[in-house]
Every structure is written in structure tokens, then in C-alpha cells.
Amino acid sequence: ATKMALRAGLRSKRGLTGVAVMRMQSPPVNSLNLELLTDICIALEKLEMDKSCRGLIITSNQPKVFSAGLDILEMYGKSPEHCGEFWKAVQEMWLKFYGSNLVTIAAINGSSPAGGCLMAMTCDYRIMADNPRYSIGLNETQLGIVAPFWFKDTLMNTVGHRTTEMALELGLLYSPAEALKIGMVDQLVPEDQVLTTATEAMTKWLAIPDHARQITKSMIRKPTIDKLMSNREDDVKNFVKFISKDSIQKSLGVYLEMLKKRKA
């Protein structure tokens, strides 16, 4: 039986119609594996074609974690072919979210490192739980890997040039308060209010006529999207070449061990 990795449905509570809530539920930490990425893309594609849907809130059903980012097990000890397929799915998720016609809001109810942060940054607005135990950021360099140009572009478009230099080179993970300060997230609220606040924020975004908002969003994001679109195959090749290196595989292995030991 296929595992339902997320739930998407149109809500009509409190007068808020045409808004889907997507809840990632891939235990234990919503790491983005091929299955979850594919499910997310299919669900978003369906919503995008549904004329009654205008907005999407993405959140997590897992306690304490929004998403642990890309599933390292999809990149560790796998064949070049598998790594290539996986990377295409990561690209697809980014392209669909960053270019979405819907109003997209990330209700970040837990930690969101690396690919989890990327996913949140593709949204139009980010609300995070104000819990100092949670962290968010692009920490790739800490794993000995390099975030590709479109991760970097998404961060730069969100927090600016200088902050991106510091954040990306040092692989910084920020507390919610720090993330708010640099503009990585837009609002902090108590944990139990993340979803209701996302719904309230959605009302404000939906008050803008769709066509005007969509054209404006596209005008701002299209150059960044086009850059990946015209380099997709090379980007896959670069990823496969990079991730297959013995030194990179070793770094990933060490990092996975560290994650397990930290737990013990």
C-alpha cells in the first residue's frame, strides 16, 4: 500500500474558501525523499489546475520538525542514476513552488534545516513557531556539501547579498528570533497559533486580485526560475558528479553517524 505522505484539501471554515492545507507526514522528520517530493509535486500540480483553489498553506504533521531537508539516504551510497532521479525531483519541487500561481504560506511549526528551509523560502510568506529550540537555515557547508546556485539565489532574493554570504559560507542555522531579524521568516507566533495565523495572513493575500498578484510575482521570480530552467541538465550532471565523489560520500557518512550518536 502506498503511504499517504501528505494531506491536501480545500477548507471552507471561517469563510476562508479556496485554501488548501498540505501537511507533510513522513515520520520521523519529514526528510524529503523521492516519494515525499513526488507526492508534494503531484498534489501541488492538482491544486494549481483547480480553479476553486487560490492559496496553499504548507505545514508539518510531525512534532518539532517542519522538514529535516533532503533525505541524506537518497544521496548516500546510491547509484549515479538514482542520485540523478532524486535531484530532478528536488528541482521539480523548487520550480513548482517558486513559480506557483497560488498564494503559498509556510506554517513552520518546527525545525527546518537545509532543503526544509529552501522549501519554506519558496513560499510567499513564512510564519514560524517562536520556540528557541527550533532552527532554520541553509547548513549545507556544515555537512561538507555545497548548496547549488538556485538554493543560493532563493536565499539571496529573501535576505539579501551580505547576509547570504555569511549564512551560506558558514552554513548558519538561525533561531526563530534571528531568522525574523534577517528576514528569513516574516512572523513569529506561539506554536499553537502557527496555523491560525497562517490562515489570517492568507486572508490578506487573497484580498489582492489574483491576476495582478500573479503577474507581479512572476515578474520578480522569473529570472531566477529561468536560470535553472535553462541549466537543468547541467545542474543534474554537476550534482551527480559532486555527490558521487568519495570525499563527499565520506562527509555524508560521518554526518549521518553524528546524527545517530547525538540521539544516543
**Contact status: 260 vs ligand LDFHACXW (CB under 6 A):** yes
Choosing from 44, 56, 70, 195, the catalytic residue is: 70
Distance CA 242, CA 109 (A): 32
Tell me which amino acid residue 209 is. Answer: P
Cα angle 238-244-245, degrees, rounded to a multiple of 5: 100
**Contact status: 148 vs ligand LDFHACXW (CB under 6 A):** yes
Choosing from 139, 171, 188, 195, the catalytic residue is: 139
Q: Give the residue with the Cβ less far from ligand LDFHACXW, 10 or 228.
A: 228
Q: Which of 56, 58, 65, 120 binds ligand LDFHACXW (CB under 6 A)?
A: 65
Q: Give the residue with the Cβ less far from ligand LDFHACXW, 68 or 103.
A: 68
Strands of the chain (E only): list them.
Answer: 6-7, 10-11, 19-24, 55-60, 103-108, 112-113, 125-129, 136-137, 187-189
Q: Which of 146, 180, 225, 228 binds ligand LDFHACXW (CB under 6 A)?
A: 146
Q: Give the residue with the Cβ less far from ligand LDFHACXW, 8 or 70.
A: 70
Is 140 designated active site? Answer: yes
With CB under 6 A as the contact rule, which of the stretches 48-56, 146-154, 198-206, 224-232 interacts with ligand LDFHACXW? Answer: 146-154
Instruction: Give the β-pairing of 10-11 and 19-24.
Output: antiparallel
Cell digits of residue 257 = 553517524
Residue 154: CB minimum distance to ligand LDFHACXW, A:
12
Helices (H), 99-160: 115-121, 149-159
**Contact status: 261 vs ligand LDFHACXW (CB under 6 A):** no
Q: Which of 144, 191, 231, 242 binds ligand LDFHACXW (CB under 6 A)?
A: 242
Distance CA 237, CA 216 (A): 33
Residues 27-46 interacting with ligand LDFHACXW (rule: CB under 6 A): 28-29, 31
Burial class of residue 228 (count of CB atoms within 10 Å of its CB; 0-12, 13-18, 19+): middle
In 10 A of CB 160, how many CB atoms?
A: 13
Is 139 designated active site? Answer: yes
Question: Nearest-CB residue to ligand LDFHACXW?
Answer: 69
Residue 156: CB minimum distance to ligand LDFHACXW, A:
16
Distance CA 102, CA 214 (A): 8
Q: Residue 197: CB partners within 8 Å, gap ≥ 6?
A: 107, 127, 187, 189
Residues that bind ligand LDFHACXW (CB under 6 A): 28-29, 31, 64-65, 68-73, 111, 113-115, 139-140, 143, 145-148, 238-239, 242, 259-260, 263
What residues are annotated to the active site?
70, 115, 139-140
